[in-house]
Structure 1
Amino acid sequence: MRRLLLSAFLLIFFVPSLQAQFLTRERVLNDENFDKKPWSWGYYFGVNRYDFNFDYYEQRPDIFVEQSYGFNVGLLGNKRINDYLDLRLEPGLVYNGRNLIFTDIPGEDNDRLRELNSTYIHIPLLLKFSTKRLNNFKPFVVGGVSYSYNLSSNEKNPDDNSAGQFRMTNNTFYYEVGFGIDLYLPYFKFSPSIRGVFALSDELVRDEDPNSLYTSNIEVMQSRGIFLNFTFQ
């Protein structure tokens, strides 16, 4: 996670800092009318890293989340509102894998481990707040809400943890906040950005047994993640 954040900061801030040294010089603007279009389109791809946030009824050993990197890819539709504000829709596909390790459950390692490989149809609706364009770059912050449908949730699966199956809800709502920079290149606009994604709803489908060692002590289970996206328009 630290390496991902460090790479994002270097990518987003190092390039503009170099250009800022030459702001007093007259420079050729690449596609200077790009942001005046009422609509623009593009695509993105990137990497993600998901975690879970747990709230418990009783104080017991925490459930350990073993994280891994996933990927995200999708399309972008951008509606210009004014010089500093845009509304954008970014439907895409997100894949990620997480392992849950229940450290307080007795038995074999297989009894303590639950593998969660999730494939989401992810649909963010975001507001993008930009600064004034400086030569060929423009920093921005972005925020909004999103919805995802988990194709691998097993919500309707009749088997639960008694049969080795951990279940999650199909539908989840999130809020998202992030920042990035638009780089105006000769033939397209390239925008690296980093974004935090935080679930608003409980994603846990509880076991049939109200005393289940896996789910009975979980009050709320919510995903949270970091997206590093590279957008081309």
Structure 2
Amino acid sequence: MPDHDDKLYYFGISFGFNYSVHRINYSTSFATTDTFKRIQPLWKPGFNMGLMGNLRLTSFIDLRFLPTLVFTEKRMRFEYGIPKDSIADRSIESIYMHLPIQFKFKSDRMKNFRFYGLAGGKFDYDLAANARSRRSDEFLKITPIDVGMEFGVGFEFFNPNFIFSPEIKLSQGFANQLFRDPELPLTNAIDRLSTRMIVISFHLEG
């Protein structure tokens, strides 16, 4: 693909897997009451698949849009102090409509290989968010909207008919996704809940 760098734009597909976790800021209630002894977020795996559109801005900078479906599971372990000491593990499953816009900073092409870095922002909508759920077995409620930033690195391997690009990135949400429901004791122990995700992707670009 010797003339690929002359293309103004091109498209591709993306698939991969992720590890996600909730980041917690505790409330003053967590420190002053003995309802919970410990609340510990745990990393859990998921997978992602999507499309890619790439626009060449300069010889070394591209603009990318990657609408993606991201399936995640974030686990939480908490230990009760009252009425008795006990430990529970519960999961929060999410299906994100993930809409990132990224700047891609490319190195010179070295025969059929290139290195690149990326940075950008994202908008996520959780199709499985339970903020309005009335189920009696909910332990925590999550709002659907998140915004944040992403950065990472990747490699391009040029083949006769496509480019294979493995990539790793860190995605950090800025929004507080905690939906406050006074009937859920765990809500009172948490002041802020955000999402962090490590994403390993494989792009096939044309």
Please say whether Structure 1 and Structure 2 have the same fold, judged by a TM-score greater than 0.5. Answer: yes
Equivalence for 2:172? 198
Q: Secondary structure, in 3 states, of the residue corresponding to 2:5?
A: helix
User: Which of the residues 53, 56, 65 maps onto 2:26?
Assistant: 56
Equivalence for 1:32? 2
CA deviation vs aligned residue, 1:115-149 (integer Å, no higher than 9, x gap)? 21111111100000011111111100001001111
Equivalence for 1:11? none
Q: Secondary structure, in 3 states, of the residue corresponding to 2:185?
A: coil
Q: 1:49 deviation in Å? A: 0.4
Q: Which runs of 5+ in 1 are unaligned?
A: 1-30
Answer yes or no: is 1:164 the counterpart of 2:109: no
Matched residues, percent identical?
Answer: 28
Equivalence for 1:182? 156
Over the aligned positions, Cα root-mean-square deviation in angstroms equals: 2.0
Q: Residues 109 and 153 of structure 1: is their aligned pair in 2 closer, same or farther, counting only changes over 3 Å?
A: farther
Q: Secondary structure, in 3 states, of the residue corresponding to 1:168?
A: coil
| Letter of the structure 2 residue corresponding to residue 216 of structure 1 | N
Q: Any residues of structure 2 matched to 1:91-130 within 5 Å, and which?
A: 91-106=67-82, 112-130=88-106
Equivalence for 1:87? 63
User: Which of the residues 107, 111, 115 maps onto 1:135?
Assistant: 111
Q: 1:69 deviation in Å? A: 1.2
Equivalence for 2:34? none
Q: Which runs of 5+ in 2 are unaligned?
A: 32-36
Separation in structure 2 between the aligned mates of residue 218 and residue 105 of structure 1, nearest angstrom: 16
Q: Residues 170 and 109 of structure 1: is their aligned pair in 2 closer, same or farther, counting only changes over 3 Å?
A: farther
Equivalence for 1:226? 198
Answer yes or no: is 1:207 the counterpart of 2:181: yes
Separation in structure 2 between the aligned mates of residue 136 and residue 177 of structure 1, nearest angstrom: 24
Q: 1:88 deviation in Å? A: 0.6
Separation in structure 2 between the aligned mates of residue 108 and residue 149 of structure 1, nearest angstrom: 38
How many residue pairs are counted as aligned between the two chains?
198
Answer yes or no: is 1:217 the counterpart of 2:200: no
Q: Secondary structure, in 3 states, of the residue corresponding to 1:47?
A: strand
Q: Secondary structure, in 3 states, of the residue corresponding to 1:215?
A: helix
| Letter of the structure 1 residue corresponding to residue 172 of structure 2 | F
Work out whether residues 102 and 214 of structure 1, in 8 Å CA contact, stay in contact via their aligned partners in 2: no
CA deviation vs aligned residue, 1:29-53 (integer Å, no higher than 9, x gap)? xx11112100100001000000111
